């Protein structure tokens, strides 16, 4: 399923820093950048990220892991030319556990990343989200749509936090000339997703493999557009290395729209599971429809998704099937205690394995 894409990344002695690099998306990005010959600094507080995702990289000569919370100021000794700002819990189950912490990560974390970018003269890419559109009144969603977000609802810590992060990015760009890129990421799936993070694909697959009823919220008629992780990582790299004038926001997602009910049927079919389901009420402010307009990505980056939903689901099912078959511990980390000002550099010790 691997597709080769030429990424015109600079070859220099400077490093690429990935905040949130031990998470689902971040760890795949670490892999890709190392394969392209970059030196990578992975920063993560292991709130939802896990060292399992980056364990194969720990002995790589061009990889370094720093355990750090971006809500605290961040500095590194190396020259840094690129910063990917991915540090934030992204599933409702996780970001609603500590909504104030989520908002602080979006705002204070982005400020600290931007200050580092300003100091290092680095280009910075902010991982924003389709959730900035809220429960949209315009469908599909172009980047020009300003959204329909409830600022006082249970999802606001993430939705409004990401909107504030975009504001900070553009203000640093206008006031200080920081080179910025903003990616609005739509639903992404693939290996290394957390098993019980409340997301549709991982929930359905794990329930099906374990023989449990599939949980469908609402009537299952709400829609999503699912992008495989390989496609998203390629899009992030292309956006980062695009011309300086391409700031975004840029939607990155798969415009193939499917209902939640249809995804459940596909997962049940590929796992050969009994077609049982359980219904629960739709969460408050949950978007009814989600589909990106990707003309900006097509025009400015030459990007569009390549991996068909069937192939992506089968690869993801294989990943979870292997974990369940080998009785591996669930990739659902305990909520980490905040480590104020603590920075763990270099290789992991046994105490770091969680």
Token pair for 39: 């030196």
Contacts 24+ apart (CB under 8 A), 26-30: 26/53, 26/84, 26/86, 27/53, 27/54, 27/192, 28/190, 28/192, 28/229, 28/230, 28/233, 29/84, 29/86, 29/233, 29/236, 29/237, 30/54, 30/57, 30/63
Token pair for 169: 């990015």
Whether the Cβ atoms of residue 120 and residue 176 lie closer than 8 Å to each other: no
Token pair for 267: 């997962």
Catalytic residues: 158
Helix (H/G/I), strand (E/B), else coil: 318: helix
Helix (H/G/I), strand (E/B), else coil: 317: helix
Token pair for 153: 């609802």
The DSSP code sequence of 132-143 is GGBS-SSSSB-T
The residue among 269, 256, 197 whose CA lies nearest residue 49 is: 197
Token pair for 154: 């249970």
């Amino acid at each position: 399923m691997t597709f080769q894409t030429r990424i015109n990344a600079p070859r220099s002695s400077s490093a690429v820093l990935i905040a949130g690099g031990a998470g689902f998306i971040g760890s795949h990005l670490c892999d890709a950048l190392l394969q392209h010959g970059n030196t990578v600094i992975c920063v993560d507080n292991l709130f939802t990220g896990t060292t399992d995702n980056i364990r194969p990289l720990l002995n790589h000569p061009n990889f370094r892991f720093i355990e750090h919370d971006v809500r605290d100021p961040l500095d590194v000794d190396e020259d840094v030319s690129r910063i990917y700002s991915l540090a934030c819990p992204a599933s409702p189950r996780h970001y609603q556990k500590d909504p104030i912490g989520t908002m602080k990560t979006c705002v204070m974390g982005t400020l600290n990343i931007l200050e580092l970018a300003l100091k290092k003269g680095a280009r910075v890419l902010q991982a924003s989200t389709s959730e900035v559109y809220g429960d949209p009144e315009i469908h599909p969603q172009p980047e020009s749509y300003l959204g329909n977000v409830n600022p006082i609802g249970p999802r606001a810590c993430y939705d409004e936090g990401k909107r504030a992060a975009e504001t900070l990015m553009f203000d640093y760009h206008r006031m200080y000339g920081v080179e910025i890129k903003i990616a609005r990421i739509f639903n992404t799936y693939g290996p290394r997703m957390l098993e019980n993070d409340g997301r549709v694909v991982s929930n359905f697959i794990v329930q099906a493999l374990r023989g449990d009823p599939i949980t469908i919220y609402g009537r299952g008629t709400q829609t999503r557009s699912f992008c495989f992780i390989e496609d998203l990582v390629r899009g992030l790299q292309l956006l980062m290395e695009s011309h300086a004038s391409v700031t975004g926001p840029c939607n990155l997602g798969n415009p193939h729209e499917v209902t939640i009910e249809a995804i459940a049927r596909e997962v049940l079919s590929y796992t050969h599971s009994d077609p049982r389901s359980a219904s629960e009420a739709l969460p408050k402010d949950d978007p009814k429809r989600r589909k990106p307009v990707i003309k900006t990505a097509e025009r400015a980056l030459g990007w569009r998704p390549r991996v068909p939903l069937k192939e992506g689901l089968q690869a993801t099912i294989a990943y979870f099937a292997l974990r369940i078959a080998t009785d591996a511990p669930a990739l659902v980390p305990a909520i980490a205690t905040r480590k104020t000002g603590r920075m763990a550099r270099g290789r992991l010790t046994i105490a770091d394995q969680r």
